[in-house]
Amino acid sequence: MSPFSTVDRQSVMPQRWITCLGIMCLVSYSARMAIAQAGRSTDGQAFITDSSARFVFPLDTRESYTWDLPLKGAYPKMPEFFWEVGWNRAAVVAGKDPLGLWLITRWKPGGPHKGTLAQLIRGYTVDPMIDCTSCDGVVYVDSQRDTNTVFATVERSRLVFNVRGRAATHRIFPVLPQTVTFSRSIRQTSEPIYQGPSEKTETQVVIVNCVRGTNERRRSCVVPPPPPAKRPPDADSAAAENAPRRVHVSVIRFANATLAKHVRVRVKTMYGTVWKTLSTGSVGFVRLDQAPVGPLLLEALCPSNGSKRTTISGTAFLQIMPRQDTSVHLWSDPTVCSP
């Protein structure tokens, strides 16, 4: 996949719809070029005219597929393989307009079966899906679905969703989407237990009616994925070690739940090393700045009585995360400090 970062306006067909009259179509030269390139590109392709739509899925290099595996937990009609062409929900009226085209193969007893992609999808339909406005995250099949005008084919080992006829095209696309998203979930390896339609989902966003050319900026119609979101640095990285973080430790008396003043708090790392010892002073709490990342042990210490052994009146465990401030209560029982 060779995504580009900017869209050349000349690389997208300028007309909103390609006008077709009967079997005579007035197709621009750029559109003919795009259709000719469909057989050469391995990326997904999406073309929508006034009376038809065609969605070619990205090339799948598998030569054969295995389905109806005798998996533990499998049941008749459970989803097994899944393909979808979806578009921006902002371009559709919820509960009225389709927001995607789905093809789902379902498990049947008597397997396993092995064959081509065409054999795998034989007998299954492509369903326009509509958002359910009275449900939570549920979609349903469009009641106006017509399997004669919306169907799937396999061409040169690639899955193609087809929409034929002006009525079906305008029913599914009342507004022409700028991009569509191809998704497929195909089982990669055999598993002993059924764990959903597949173990991996692949997606690709493609510009609709995009014409690839020889110009460097037009070599792909694939929309590049967004950059990965920034996450906190790893605990063992230098960035994590220098990331700001503060810990507010309140020492609470076990008997009356009041702040314990002038109590020493000893902080140990996961290796038992003493990092720091602080006193709550007259405020009853301590603040740890730049505490070591990872597990910490907090100990409330009894006042020194001249003995070499230090008595502990309370403990608390704490996991310090990079770039995160936190608060913790350290409960202390002063009665253990009595001689």
Q: Measuring CA to CA, which residue among 136, 138, 103 is closest to residue 118?
A: 103
Q: Return the higher-pLDDT residue of 246 and 302.
A: 302
What is the per-residue pLDDT for 57? 95
Output the DSSP codes for 189-244: S--SB--SS-S-EEEEEEETTB---SSGGGS--BPPPPPPPP-PPPTTSHHHHHS-
Is pLDDT of 235 > 70? Answer: no
Q: How confident is the model at residue 290 (pLDDT cuts 50, 70, 90)?
A: confident
195-226 pLDDT per residue, tens: 545 556 788 999 999 877 644 455 688 888 77
Q: Return the higher-pLDDT residue of 331 and 8.
A: 331
Neighbours of 124 (CB within 10 A): 16
What is the per-residue pLDDT for 18? 39
Is pLDDT of 13 > 80? Answer: no
- Reduced to 3 DSSP states, what percent helix, strand and coil does the chain have, rounded to the nearest 5? 10, 35, 50
Domains of the chain, each with CATH number or no CATH: 9-218 (no CATH), 238-337 (2.60.40.10)
Q: Return the higher-pLDDT residue of 199 and 9.
A: 199
What is the per-residue pLDDT for 119? 94
d(Cα 316, Cα 254) in Å, to the nearest integer?
13
The number of residues making up the chain comes to: 339
pTM of the model: 0.57
DSSP code at position 29: H
What is the per-residue pLDDT for 161? 96
What's the rounded mean pLDDT across residues 298-326?
76
d(Cα 39, Cα 338) in Å, to the nearest integer?
86
Q: Return the higher-pLDDT residue of 11 and 181.
A: 181
